[in-house]
Structure 1
Amino acid sequence: MAAGGSYSMVEYFGGDGGYRCGYCKHEKGNFSHGMWSHTMTVKDYQDLIDRGWRRSGKYVYKPTMNKTCCPQYTIRCHALNFHPSKTHKKTLKRMNKFLSKGERPVEQNDVGHEGEPMDSMHEGVHPPPQDPLKIDLTDVEDIFTSPDPNTDTKSTTSSTSREDAAPVQADKTSNDAPKPGKGADPSRPLCRKAKDIRKERRLQKEQQKQQATSSIPAPSKSASNQPKLLEEFISEFLPNDPLHRLEFKRFLCDSPLEAESAPDGPDMGYGSFHQQYWLDDRIVAVGVLDILPSCVSSVYLYYHPDFSSLSLGTYTALREIAFTRQLQKQSPKLAYYYLGFYVHSCPKMRYKGQYRPSDLLCPETYVWMPIERCIPRLEISAYSRLNEDAKAGDAHALKDMGRALVLHRRTVMPYAAYTRKRKGSNDEKEVEQYASLVGQTCAERILLYRA
């Protein structure tokens, strides 16, 4: 029974048919199990996402990992140990320059929330696994220009490395074909690629620096030599009177999650929240977050396309990690930031692995594995049992289906009592599939609606 005497209640829809994949666009390659959540406690949802489930609105789905064309692995970042990468630092510096001086960078690739393909919804009870971290709403720009806007969008651009393009030279004074030569001069060294020459020069400079500093004694470690915290990068170089002001506001949003509070929980309580980003009294982005007992889970983000050059996807992800760290001071168990699904088979979705240290969820044992140990396996096969222990199993595997709770005619009862009451019931296979997917613990807490 959940805190406050409330239950989670779901309707299970199965998941045998194939649907269009939003990642590789395979028309029938996407397979997932789904259920409609009429209500959900934060504890039950925490346990479900730790078994590979994910919500899109009130629809909760679980990819059929060994069958779907693009396996989606639940990914979490260790918020307390997170250190921003060079790309993350650049994003924060760009934002701070814009806030302090109004300097807006040119359009460029983003590696935060951006880069995810949109998944189109399909008719029927099995919508495809819409990735929760990103929904592009560039077609609803009028919402942002309304007096009380509440939305935002994401977009990406592509770039080509100059090193990949061979220089082309043309003779503007003659159309004659070049005269045949005598071939390579064996007395001269072979031509070398420019990038190889640059690499060698960098190595030489590094060696010279090491030689120059080898005789200088290393300074003792002090607080000034420690790497900067994420929070320091967020506020770095911001003056007391910046040209622009970025503010944050939070409020509850529609969700199947029941709002809850606990003595050892965060001050704002658990549940689903909109986190608004206001720039000079104008809303520019909105993120939807689920605050759960062990994590902050990013559901999706949308932002105004006029500000895409500020890499708002990356910036808001970093702010959400910092927010997770803030909440952990109030609730010690709340230490992770969930980014939704990591899809290694889709290159545009690999950016989520850059928020490290991070783990992927093993689809067979539901044990978290460091992403560095998972990547080699995923390079070989899109689907992989990530747990390296061959003897490990699912600690919450279904053992007694009869103890699964069902709701029938407004009465809560174990499934065993339901079958005795409903002699000749033919739903045993469906209930067993559902209970296996949610696990024994959740099956004994969540109410499965039976007509």
Structure 2
Amino acid sequence: MWAHALTVHDYQDLVDRGWRRSGEYLYKPIMDKTCCPQYTIRCQVLDYRLSKSQKKILKRMTMYLANGDILPTEVPMDEHPSACHMPHPVEKPSQLDTVIVGEVDQSDRALPKISGPSSEEKAKRPPKPGVGADPSRPMARKAKDLRRERRMLKQQKQGGMESGDQASGSSQPESSSAQRLSASSAPFLSDGLASDAGALSNVEKGMRLAGLSHRQAGQHPEQQAPNQPKTLEDFVSEHKAGDGKHKLEVRLVRSSPPSSEFLASFPVSYLLYKRYQVVVHKDPPSRPSQEQFKRFLCNSPLKGEYSAASPDVGYGSFHQQYWLDGRLIAVGVLDILPRCLSSVYLYYDPDFAFLSMGIYSALREVAFTRQLYTQAPALRYYYMGFYIHSCPKMRYKVQYGPADLLCPETYAWVPAPQCLPKLDVNKYSRLNADASAVDENHPGDDLAHLLVLYNFHPMQYGHYQQLGGEAGRDDDEEVREFARLVGRACAERMLLYRQ
């Protein structure tokens, strides 16, 4: 259906019933009839777990920004959660990817041991001049270990061991996921926002929600407990530093209604989209026109909204732009809704495919959702579009977890691990295990109180039926189907257009 104007609250309820949008066009798969059922999937960002392969991609970006070094390696497909919701077929992604040199996870050290006398002799052989470590000098130590040691010595001199214990104790993690997130997100609240978004007020608001002092919220990742794994926010902080060979800047610009920043960057953004469609999806050059770009990714029925419950940037439709050294290399199309950040589409410069921009941008969107949560506590999910179990290229979506799938009959969210065995047996399945559960938002049989728009006048459907002539015709079946698809709540708020 076409949506001329839609509140973010109505659209939130619609996506929670399996709807999605493409520009101003809203669509919902017929789940029990389609050959490939499409289940709405979301990620619980407060308990998000980085996988080993995702950490490698984040570390690769860290190294590239620091010194520009990139080496080939094997990594997963560069897929963005919204990548399969495109108007054109998805081509097989490139198998060439990259790895970083430097810090690795402990799990990365599990490599086959080299055995045999030749290997041992080679290991004992002194290095050539100018190559390798000097065996006559002490083993090198990590810079962060040296900084930590100097900091502890300084604390001991100033206040004795007691003050040192207090300083180390302040870096212990909070007891819950939300508390840990608020503490780690506060320094990053200005990331992804336009330059006039007010970073200082964001930070203070995040600290108030978390109940933190300035000193607690401002702790550097190096003050974490030893052997504590890096969080997603730690990686984002490294990528924002801007003191390396390359500088990455992420900007959030409102696309509808278009902001001045969006209008200023529109020409270069369109050219990036066109090149992406032609190179990656093999579109003919004439197909991705400016009008098609506007209809597909710029126009939106969502009305921008600012309220006490919204994040500082408000609700609505946005473009999240990735600028590398002043060059636009990727754009994520997003909807910020009352309970979620919804990913619509991503396009990027094929020249930077070696950075796995699809996966990297998805991780940045997860981090952005976590930041928005500190300002709007109801906003705690990242919606990744649809999941098709029979499509191997979509299996990666459950790696953005914990993930939930939407039951197509009761519209309840079910943890993905409980759903996958059912989908292995049947492509279409009632995912809710509770046999007595029903759709609590079902409209029922009473249609008289539902709203329609006739001759530019809003009215209840019962009143519309009483009008004489063509206006009084029986539209029960069409109105009933509309109410069943959108749910009772939306059917009582949204106006169904009648000619």
* Superposition TM-score, scaled by structure 1 size: 0.69
2:82–2:346 Cα contact (<8 Å) kept = no
Correspondence 1:368 to 2:413: yes
Q: Alpha-carbon deviations, 1:143-171, whole Å to 9, x = none?
A: xxxxxxxxxxx971248xxxxxxxxxxxx
1:155–1:308 Cα contact (<8 Å) kept = no
Question: Which whole-Å CA distance do the structure 2 matches of 1:392 and 1:240 have between them?
Answer: 52
Letter in 1 for 2:12: Q
1:40–1:258 Cα contact (<8 Å) kept = yes
Aligned mate of 1:337, from 368, 375, 382: 382
Question: Which whole-Å CA distance do the structure 1 matches of 2:35 and 2:489 have between them?
Answer: 29
Question: Which whole-Å CA distance do the structure 2 matches of 1:284 and 1:354 have between them?
Answer: 25
Q: Alpha-carbon deviations, 1:198-244, whole Å to 9, x = none?
A: x9x99xxxxxxxxxxxxxxxxx9965254432111333588662100
Of 415-424 and 105-114, the range deviating more from structure 2? 105-114
What residue number does 2:461 align with?
415
Q: Alpha-carbon deviations, 1:278-301, whole Å to 9, x = none?
A: 000000000111000001101111
1:290-369 mapped onto 2 (5 Å cutoff): 290-369=335-414
CA 1:238 to 1:59, structure 2 compared with 1: closer, same or farther past 3 Å?
Answer: closer
1:86-165 mapped onto 2 (5 Å cutoff): 86-106=52-72, 109-113=76-80, 116-117=83-84, 119-120=86-87, 156-158=93-95
Question: Which whole-Å CA distance do the structure 1 matches of 2:337 and 2:239 have between them?
Answer: 33
Gapped regions of structure 1 (runs ≥ 5): 1-34, 122-134, 137-153, 160-198, 203-219
What residue number does 1:443 align with?
491
Aligned mate of 2:243, from 217, 241, 255: 241
Of 266-275 and 237-246, the range deviating more from structure 2? 237-246
Question: Which whole-Å CA distance do the structure 1 matches of 2:355 and 2:431 have between them?
Answer: 36
1:374-393 mapped onto 2 (5 Å cutoff): 374-393=419-438
Letter in 1 for 2:492: E
Deviation at 1:406?
0.2
Q: Alpha-carbon deviations, 1:272-328, whole Å to 9, x = none?
A: 001110000000000111000001101111000001111101100110111111111
Deviation at 1:111?
4.7
Deviation at 1:404?
1.3
Question: Which whole-Å CA distance do the structure 2 matches of 1:245 and 1:439 have between them?
Answer: 47
Question: Which whole-Å CA distance do the structure 2 matches of 1:419 and 1:239 have between them?
Answer: 63
Question: Which whole-Å CA distance do the structure 1 matches of 2:424 and 2:451 have between them?
Answer: 41
What residue number does 1:211 align with?
none
Question: Which whole-Å CA distance do the structure 2 matches of 1:443 and 1:269 have between them?
Answer: 25
Question: What secondary structure sits across from 2:478 in the alignment?
Answer: helix
Question: What secondary structure sits across from 2:55 in the alignment?
Answer: helix
Letter in 2 for 1:110: M
Question: Which whole-Å CA distance do the structure 2 matches of 1:347 and 1:433 have between them?
Answer: 33
Correspondence 1:36 to 2:2: yes
Number of aligned residues = 331
Question: Which whole-Å CA distance do the structure 1 matches of 2:82 and 2:373 have between them?
Answer: 29
Question: Which whole-Å CA distance do the structure 1 matches of 2:254 and 2:92 have between them?
Answer: 26
Question: Which whole-Å CA distance do the structure 1 matches of 2:383 and 2:67 have between them?
Answer: 33
1:303–1:312 Cα contact (<8 Å) kept = yes
1:222-233 mapped onto 2 (5 Å cutoff): 223=173, 224=225, 225-233=227-235
Correspondence 1:434 to 2:482: yes
What residue number does 1:177 align with?
none
Q: Alpha-carbon deviations, 1:18-49, whole Å to 9, x = none?
A: xxxxxxxxxxxxxxxxx001011000000000
1:105–1:309 Cα contact (<8 Å) kept = no
CA 1:119 to 1:258, structure 2 compared with 1: closer, same or farther past 3 Å?
Answer: closer
Gapped regions of structure 2 (runs ≥ 5): 97-109, 114-168, 174-224, 256-298
Question: Which whole-Å CA distance do the structure 2 matches of 1:450 and 1:238 have between them?
Answer: 51
Question: Which whole-Å CA distance do the structure 2 matches of 1:106 and 1:87 have between them?
Answer: 14
Aligned mate of 1:252, from 227, 251, 254: 254
Question: Which whole-Å CA distance do the structure 2 matches of 1:439 and 1:105 have between them?
Answer: 51
Deviation at 1:420?
1.4
Q: Percent identity?
A: 54
Deviation at 1:427?
2.3
2:38–2:386 Cα contact (<8 Å) kept = yes
Q: CA RMSD in A?
A: 2.6
Question: What secondary structure sits across from 1:36 in the alignment?
Answer: coil
Correspondence 1:83 to 2:49: yes
Deviation at 1:106?
3.4
* Superposition TM-score, scaled by structure 2 size: 0.62
CA 1:60 to 1:311, structure 2 compared with 1: closer, same or farther past 3 Å?
Answer: same
